[in-house]
Structure 1
């Protein structure tokens, strides 16, 4: 549906001579990307409101945009799948945040943070096939990822040390989202390893 809306809107732009026919595909891609981001954002906010977990949702989106924007990782083959993966990831986090008791939430948060710090700290960032970066750009991205995860982990640590149950949603949201980003990165690394092995077997 979003594809159709993007195509219709780009056609209007072409018809009104605001863009050329040659540039239409670029605008279709950009409009669809914008609409997908908007729909995903509104849906996640909706989830946060109906489950009374708006703070969790906002932190989830903020960390996903900042950290994942530099770390890279698994990307779905279509916008619909991307929407599904992101929404499902957020929903699982919301349910866990609501259901886990304080002690379990704290324990899970510590485990999530340790895993994220080790994996994200070591890997840093994964280069994209679609939009590859130079070696120097990748070094900068890895530094930014390590800085961001250190900041977020430190913030979660402050919430934990406050020893207040009211801050549970905050440190769990940070820890869970970093773990979710780590999981997406591991999936991408495994996919690439499997692809490399498959290509080697095929060529031999």
Structure 2
């Protein structure tokens, strides 16, 4: 930006994009380090791979500051890895929580953030893309679960559960902000 490659009127946009990119890299490294600490790098990666695309289009709760977002993300991955490591799960439980969370997401997406309202055409597009990603993920969970890859399907399912919670929290926050 200093060498004049970016037009002046676009510098703020590029700076914001660079800032977001740095935050994403820091989050990614943190998730990997937490995965290493718990000896669950594969589970951490699977969770991220399934969480990020759907969350991008589903929307939902967003922390008010990047710092709060970072610490909530750490709490989220710690909770997921702890649930994978310590809880006793069955195939029926994975299918049940995936379907229930999937229905919730399907019904409520997209959930806008107050700082980033969507146009009518964006709402239609985000809904369609979120539902398509959700369908692919649910089919993936079913196929892998049937194939005996339980250790991979659990973080996949928990990503859908986590997103359903974020979508519900986002809806509640939006309703409360309208009331105020």
Place the TM-score, normalised by the shorter chain, in its bin: 0.7 to 0.9
Structure 1 equivalent of residue 154 of structure 2: 172
3-state DSSP class of the match of 1:74?
coil
Q: How far apart, CA to CA, are the structure 2 residues paired with 1:147 and 1:21?
A: 38
DSSP 3-state at the match of 2:34? helix
User: Counterpart in 1 of 2:144?
Assistant: 159
Which residue of the partner structure matches residue 96 of structure 1?
83
Confirm or deny: 8 A CA contact 1:67 1:145 kept in the other structure. yes
Cα distance in 2 for partners of 1:140, 1:19 equals 30
TM-score by length of 2: 0.88
Q: Secondary structure at the match of 2:115?
A: coil
Give the root-mean-square deviation of aligned CA atoms.
2.1
Deviations 1:148-190 (A, max 9, x none): 111111111122223x3xx222111111001101101111111
Name the residue aligned to 2:42. 55
Structure with more contact order per residue of length (Cα contacts < 8 Å, sep ≥ 6): 2
Unaligned runs of 5+ in 1: 1-12, 199-204
Please identify, of 68-77 and 27-36, the stretch whose mean Cα deviation from structure 2 is larger.
Answer: 27-36
How far off its partner does 1:116 sit?
1.6
- Residue number in structure 2 paired with 1:111: 96
TM-score (norm 1): 0.78
The residue number in structure 2 matching 1:83 is 70
2:57 touches 2:129 (CA, 8 Å); kept in 1?
Answer: yes
Larger radius of gyration: 1
Q: Distance in 2 between matches of 1:23 and 1:193?
A: 34
Instruction: Please list the CA deviations of residues 81-105 of structure 1 after superposition, one character each: whole Å capped at 9, or x if unmatched.
Output: 111111211111111111123xx25
Structure 2 unaligned segments of length 5 or more: list them.
none
Distance 2:45 2:27 in 1: 12
Counterpart of 1:144 (choices 118, 129, 132) is 129
Check the 8 A contact 2:61/2:113 in 1, yes or no.
no
**Aligned 8 A contact 2:43 2:152 in 1:** yes
Distance (whole Å) between structure 1 residues aligned to residue 128 and residue 13 of structure 2: 31
Structure 1 counterpart of 2:32: 45
Structure 2: how far apart are the matches of 1:89 and 1:46?
14
- Provide the residue aligned with 2:118 in structure 1: 133
Cα distance in 2, alignment partners of residues 44 and 117 from structure 1: 24
Matches within 5 A, 1:1-80: 14=2, 25-80=12-67
Match of 1:194 in 2: 176
